[in-house]
Amino acid sequence: MLASMQIRRFPVRLAVVVLALIAALLIGGALGYTLKPLPVVNDSTRLVVVHDGATSNPNDFGCIVVDGHKGC
């Protein structure tokens, strides 16, 4: 009776293809996140006035008029 041993090789080609696919997905995701476009806001500009309490007259709120609108 003869005995023989078969050696199974690891599928190197399949492992290389899977690793290349994973690397391409990671690089593409990183570049997509880095190069994403800036958000565009189509809204009017708002004016915010902050009172610091340093005025001599407490009744003077320092209101200003911008484009016909009073901002206090």
Which helix (H) or strand (E) covers residue 23, if one does?
helix 12-34
pTM of structure: 0.43
Question: Are 49 and 62 within 8 A, CB to CB?
Answer: yes
In the numeric block, which tokens belong to residue 19? 């690793």
| 24-53: pLDDT as tens digits | 999 999 998 888 877 777 777 777 777 665
In the numeric block, which tokens belong to residue 46? 């708002």
When pLDDT is averaged across residues 60-67 and rounded to a whole number, the result is 70
